Chain A
Amino acid sequence: MSGKRKDDVTGTETTGHVWDGIEELNNPLPRWWLWTFYATVVFSLIYVVLYPAWPVVNRATSGLLGWSTRGDVAAEIEAVDASQASLFASLTEVDLRVLPRNEELYGFAQQAGGAVFRNTCSQCHGSGAAGALGYPNLLDDEWLWGGTLEDIAFTIRHGIRNDEDPDARFSQMPAFGDILERDQIALLTDHVLSLPGGADPAAGEAGQLFLDNCASCHGENAQGDRTIGAPNLTDAIWLYGDTPEQVASSIRRGPSGVMPPWGERLGEAEVRAVAAYVHALGGGEAQVGEAPVAEGAGATGAEPSDPDEVPFAEEAGATE
Chain B
Amino acid sequence: MTATKSLYAARVPIFPRRVSGRFRNLKWVIMAVTLGIYYLTPWIRWDRGPNLPDQAVLVDLANRRFYFFWIEIWPHEFYFVAGLLVMAGLGLFLFTAALGRVWCGYACPQTVWTDLFLKVERWVQGDRNARLRLHQAPWTARKIRLKLTTWSLWLMIAVATGGAWVFYFADAPTLARDLATLQAPGVAWATIALLTATTFVFGGFMREQVCIYMCPWPRIQGAMMDEGTLTVAYRDWRGEPRGKGLRRRERAEAAEAATRAAGPRIGGRSPVIPMQVRGATAVAQPAAPAPAVPGAAGDCIDCNACVNVCPMGIDIRDGQQMACITCALCIDACDEVMDRIGRPRGLIDYVALSDAPREAAGGAPIAAWRHAMRPRNFVYAGLWSAVGIALVVLLFIRPEIEMTVAPVRNPTFVTLSDGSIRNAYDVRLRNKHGEARDFALATGEAMAGRLALSVEGSTDAAVTVPADTQGRVRVYLTAPPGSAPATADRTEVRLWAQDRESGERAFVDTTFNGRETP
Query: Given that A28-B9, A29-B7, A309-B446 are known contacts, is A100 also in contact with B461, CB under 8 Å in the complex?
Result: no
Residue-wise, chain A 120-137 has the 8 Å CB interface mask toward B (1 for contact) of 000000111010000001
Query: Given that A31-B10, A236-B417 are known contacts, is A296 also in contact with B505, CB under 8 Å in the complex?
Result: no
A294 vs B453: C-alpha distance in the bound complex, in angstroms? 11
- Report if A318 contacts B (CB, 8 A): yes
- Report if B44 contacts A (CB, 8 A): no
Instruction: Say whether B454 contacts A296, CB under 8 Å.
Output: yes
- Report if B8 contacts A (CB, 8 A): yes
Instruction: Say whether B461 contacts A319, CB under 8 Å.
Output: no
Interface residues in B471-518 (C-beta closer than 8 Å to A): 474, 476, 478, 481, 494, 496, 498, 500, 502-505
Stretch at the interface among A46-54, A138-146, A172-180, A244-252: A138-146
- Report if A256 contacts B (CB, 8 A): no
Instruction: Say whether B209 contacts A30, CB under 8 Å.
Output: yes
Instruction: Say whether B424 contacts A303, CB under 8 Å.
Output: no
Determine the chain A residues whose CB is within 8 A of the CB of B194 once the complex forms: none
Closest to A235 in B: B417
- Report if B459 contacts A (CB, 8 A): yes
Stretch at the interface among B72-80, B224-232, B436-444: B436-444
Instruction: Say whether B448 contacts A319, CB under 8 Å.
Output: no
A315 vs B501: C-alpha distance in the bound complex, in angstroms? 9
Instruction: Say whether B442 contacts A302, CB under 8 Å.
Output: yes
Instruction: Say whether A4 contacts B209, CB under 8 Å.
Output: no
Instruction: Say whether B460 contacts A298, CB under 8 Å.
Output: yes
- Report if A26 contacts B (CB, 8 A): yes
B448's partner among A196, A295, A298, A304 (CB-CB below 8 A) is: A304
- Report if A267 contacts B (CB, 8 A): no
- Report if A311 contacts B (CB, 8 A): yes
A120 to chain B, nearest CB (A): 18
A30's partner among B1, B11, B494 (CB-CB below 8 A) is: B11
Closest to B424 in A: A282
Instruction: Say whether B445 contacts A304, CB under 8 Å.
Output: yes
Query: Given that A4-B4, A13-B5, A297-B459 are known contacts, is A311 also in contact with B496, CB under 8 Å in the complex?
Result: yes
Instruction: Say whether B503 contacts A318, CB under 8 Å.
Output: yes
Instruction: Say whether B442 contacts A26, CB under 8 Å.
Output: no
Instruction: Say whether B410 contacts A305, CB under 8 Å.
Output: no
Query: Given that A293-B459, A301-B461, A319-B504 are known contacts, is A30 also in contact with B213, CB under 8 Å in the complex?
Result: yes
Q: How large is the interface on A (under 10, 10 to 19, 20 to 34, 35 or more residues)?
A: 35 or more
- Report if B140 contacts A (CB, 8 A): no
Instruction: Say whether A310 contacts B496, CB under 8 Å.
Output: yes
Instruction: Say whether A302 contacts B445, CB under 8 Å.
Output: no
Residue-wise, chain A 175-196 has the 8 Å CB interface mask toward B (1 for contact) of 0000000000000000000001
A316 vs B445: C-alpha distance in the bound complex, in angstroms? 13
A86 vs B213: C-alpha distance in the bound complex, in angstroms? 56
- Report if A205 contacts B (CB, 8 A): no
Instruction: Say whether B448 contacts A31, CB under 8 Å.
Output: no
Closest to B501 in A: A315
A183 vs B209: C-alpha distance in the bound complex, in angstroms? 101
Interface residues in B152-210 (C-beta closer than 8 Å to A): 206, 209
Instruction: Say whether B476 contacts A282, CB under 8 Å.
Output: yes
Query: Given that A282-B474, A299-B452, A310-B445 are known contacts, is A34 also in contact with B8, CB under 8 Å in the complex?
Result: yes
Determine the chain B residues whose CB is within 8 A of the CB of A19 once the complex forms: none
Query: Given that A30-B9, A292-B459, A299-B453 are known contacts, is A236 also in contact with B418, CB under 8 Å in the complex?
Result: yes
A301 vs B461: C-alpha distance in the bound complex, in angstroms? 7
Instruction: Say whether A280 contacts B440, CB under 8 Å.
Output: no
A142 vs B417: C-alpha distance in the bound complex, in angstroms? 6
- Report if A202 contacts B (CB, 8 A): no
- Report if B458 contacts A (CB, 8 A): yes
Determine the chain B residues whose CB is within 8 A of the CB of A319 once the complex forms: 502-504
- Report if A312 contacts B (CB, 8 A): yes
Instruction: Say whether A100 contacts B443, CB under 8 Å.
Output: no
Instruction: Say whether A128 contacts B408, CB under 8 Å.
Output: yes
How many chain-B residues does the 8 Å CB contact rule pick out? 55
- Interface class of chain A by DSSP: loop
Determine the chain A residues whose CB is within 8 A of the CB of B1 once the complex forms: 1
Instruction: Say whether B8 contacts A236, CB under 8 Å.
Output: no
- Report if B414 contacts A (CB, 8 A): yes
Determine the chain B residues whose CB is within 8 A of the CB of A1 once the complex forms: 1
- Report if B286 contacts A (CB, 8 A): no
- Report if B301 contacts A (CB, 8 A): no
- Report if A43 contacts B (CB, 8 A): no
Instruction: Say whether A298 contacts B414, CB under 8 Å.
Output: no
Closest to A29 in B: B8
Query: Given that A130-B414, A312-B496 are known contacts, is A302 also in contact with B453, CB under 8 Å in the complex?
Result: yes
Instruction: Say whether A31 contacts B503, CB under 8 Å.
Output: no
B241 to chain A, nearest CB (A): 20
A30 vs B206: C-alpha distance in the bound complex, in angstroms? 11
B185 to chain A, nearest CB (A): 16
Residue-wise, chain A 216-248 has the 8 Å CB interface mask toward B (1 for contact) of 000000000000000010011100000000000
A212 vs B224: C-alpha distance in the bound complex, in angstroms? 97
B449's partner among A28, A30, A298, A303 (CB-CB below 8 A) is: A303
- Report if A291 contacts B (CB, 8 A): yes
A296 vs B452: C-alpha distance in the bound complex, in angstroms? 8
- Report if B221 contacts A (CB, 8 A): no
Determine the chain B residues whose CB is within 8 A of the CB of A292 once the complex forms: 459
Instruction: Say whether B417 contacts A140, CB under 8 Å.
Output: yes
- Report if B422 contacts A (CB, 8 A): yes
Determine the chain A residues whose CB is within 8 A of the CB of B416 once the complex forms: 140-142, 236-237
A297 vs B494: C-alpha distance in the bound complex, in angstroms? 20
- Report if B2 contacts A (CB, 8 A): yes
- Report if B456 contacts A (CB, 8 A): yes
Determine the chain B residues whose CB is within 8 A of the CB of A307 once the complex forms: 445
Determine the chain A residues whose CB is within 8 A of the CB of B245 once the complex forms: none
A121 to chain B, nearest CB (A): 14
Instruction: Say whether A311 contacts B444, CB under 8 Å.
Output: yes
Determine the chain A residues whose CB is within 8 A of the CB of B445 once the complex forms: 304-311
A299 vs B445: C-alpha distance in the bound complex, in angstroms? 15
Closest to B417 in A: A235
B517 to chain A, nearest CB (A): 12
A34 vs B8: C-alpha distance in the bound complex, in angstroms? 8
- Report if A92 contacts B (CB, 8 A): no
Residue-wise, chain B 112-142 has the 8 Å CB interface mask toward A (1 for contact) of 0000000000000000000000000000000
Give A residues with C-beta under 8 Å from B.
Answer: 1, 4, 13, 15, 26, 28-34, 100, 126-128, 130, 137, 139-142, 196, 232, 235-237, 280, 282, 291-312, 315-316, 318-319
19 contacts between A and B (CB under 8 A): A30-B213, A33-B8, A128-B411, A130-B410, A140-B416, A140-B422, A196-B419, A236-B419, A280-B474, A291-B459, A302-B452, A302-B461, A303-B448, A304-B448, A310-B505, A311-B443, A312-B440, A312-B496, A312-B498
Question: What are the 5 closest A-B residue pairs judged by CB atoms, nearest first?
Answer: A128-B410, A299-B452, A319-B503, A236-B419, A235-B417
* Additional A-B contact list (5), CB under 8 Å, known A28-B5, A30-B10, A319-B504: A26-B4, A128-B408, A303-B442, A311-B445, A315-B500
